Amino acid sequence: MANVTRKIGLSLGADTCWPICFEELVKDLDLKLPIGNNTVSFEIERVTIEPFALRQPVKYDLVVDRLTHWYHTSREWIKKAVVLNDVYVFNNPWSVQSNEKHTTYAAMMRLGMPIPTTWLVPPKSYEEKPDLQTTLTRYAKLFDLPAVGAQVGYPLFMKPFDGGGWVGVSKVDNEKELVEAYDRSGKLIMHLQKGVLPHEHFCRCIGLGPQTRIIRYDPSAPLHQRYLNDEGYLPEETLSVLRDITLTINSFFGWDFNSCEALYADGIWHPIDFANPCPDSQVTSLHRHFPWLVKAKLRWSLYVAATKKRMRVNQDWQPYFEIAAKDLSYKDKLAGYAKIARERMEAERFEEFCATHLSHLDEVAWNFFGSERAKVAVRKKVEALFPKHEWDSFTEHFWNEIQIWRANDRAERDAAAASAAAKPAAKKKSSSGKKA
Distance, CA of 287 to CA of 281 (rounded, Å): 10
Q: Site for ligand ATP (CB under 6 A): which residue of 273, 274, 290, 292?
A: 273
Instruction: Decide: is 265 part of the binding site for ligand ATP (CB under 6 A).
Output: no
139 binds, among Mg ion, ligand ATP, none (CB under 5 to 8 A by kind): none
Q: Which residues bind Mg ion (CB under 5 A)?
A: 261, 273
Instruction: Decide: is 196 part of the binding site for ligand ATP (CB under 6 A).
Output: yes
Instruction: Decide: is 219 part of the binding site for ligand ATP (CB under 6 A).
Output: yes
User: In the complex with ligand ATP, which residue's Cβ is closer, 114 or 319?
Assistant: 114
In DSSP terms, 11 is beta-bridged to: 65
357 binds, among Mg ion, ligand ATP, none (CB under 5 to 8 A by kind): none
Distance, CA of 152 to CA of 119 (rounded, Å): 7
Q: Site for ligand ATP (CB under 6 A): which residue of 9, 93, 116, 210?
A: 116
User: In the complex with ligand ATP, which residue's Cβ is closer, 270 or 379?
Assistant: 270
Q: Which stretch binds ligand ATP (CB under 6 A): 4-12, 193-201, 231-239, 342-350?
A: 193-201
Instruction: Decide: is 334 part of the binding site for ligand ATP (CB under 6 A).
Output: no
Q: Which stretch binds ligand ATP (CB under 6 A): 164-172, 299-307, 398-406, 413-421?
A: 164-172
193 binds, among Mg ion, ligand ATP, none (CB under 5 to 8 A by kind): ligand ATP
Instruction: Decide: is 163 part of the binding site for ligand ATP (CB under 6 A).
Output: yes
User: In the complex with ligand ATP, which residue's Cβ is closer, 175 or 261?
Assistant: 261
What does the H/E/C string look like for the chain? CEEEEEEEEEECCCCCHHHHHHHHHHHHHCCCEEECCEEEEEEEEECCCCCCCCCCCCCCCEEEECCCCCCHHHHHHHHHHHHHHCCEEECCHHHHHHCCHHHHHHHHHHCCCCCCCEEEECCCCCCCCCCHHHHHHHHCCCCCHHHHHHHHCCCEEEEECCCCCCCCCEEECCHHHHHHHHHHCCCCCEEEEECCCCCCEEEEEEEECCEEEEEEECCCCCHHHCECCCCCCCCHHHHHHHHHHHHHHHHHHCCCEEEEEEEEECCEEEEEECCCCCCCCCHHHHHHHHHHHHHHHHHHHHHHHHHCCCCCCCCCCHHHHHHHHCCCCHHHHHHHHHHHHHHHCCHHHHHHHHHHHCCCHHHHHHHHCCCHHHHHHHHHHHHHHCCHHHHHHHHHHHHHHHHHHHHHHHHHHHHHHHHHHHHHHHHHHHHHHHHC
Q: Site for ligand ATP (CB under 6 A): which residue of 10, 78, 81, 169?
A: 169
Instruction: Decide: is 79 part of the binding site for ligand ATP (CB under 6 A).
Output: no
Q: How far is the CB of 390 from ligand ATP (least distance, A)?
A: 22
19 binds, among ligand ATP, Mg ion, none (CB under 5 to 8 A by kind): none
Q: How far is the CB of 191 from ligand ATP (least distance, A)?
A: 9
Instruction: Decide: is 149 part of the binding site for ligand ATP (CB under 6 A).
Output: no
Interface residues for ligand ATP in 23-52 (CB under 6 A)? none
Instruction: Decide: is 260 part of the binding site for ligand ATP (CB under 6 A).
Output: no
Q: How far is the CB of 120 from ligand ATP (least distance, A)?
A: 14
User: In the complex with ligand ATP, which residue's Cβ is closer, 159 or 309?
Assistant: 159
Q: How far is the CB of 285 from Mg ion (least distance, A)?
A: 12
Give the residues lining the site for ligand ATP (CB under 6 A): 116, 157, 159, 163-167, 169, 193, 195-197, 219, 261, 263, 272-273
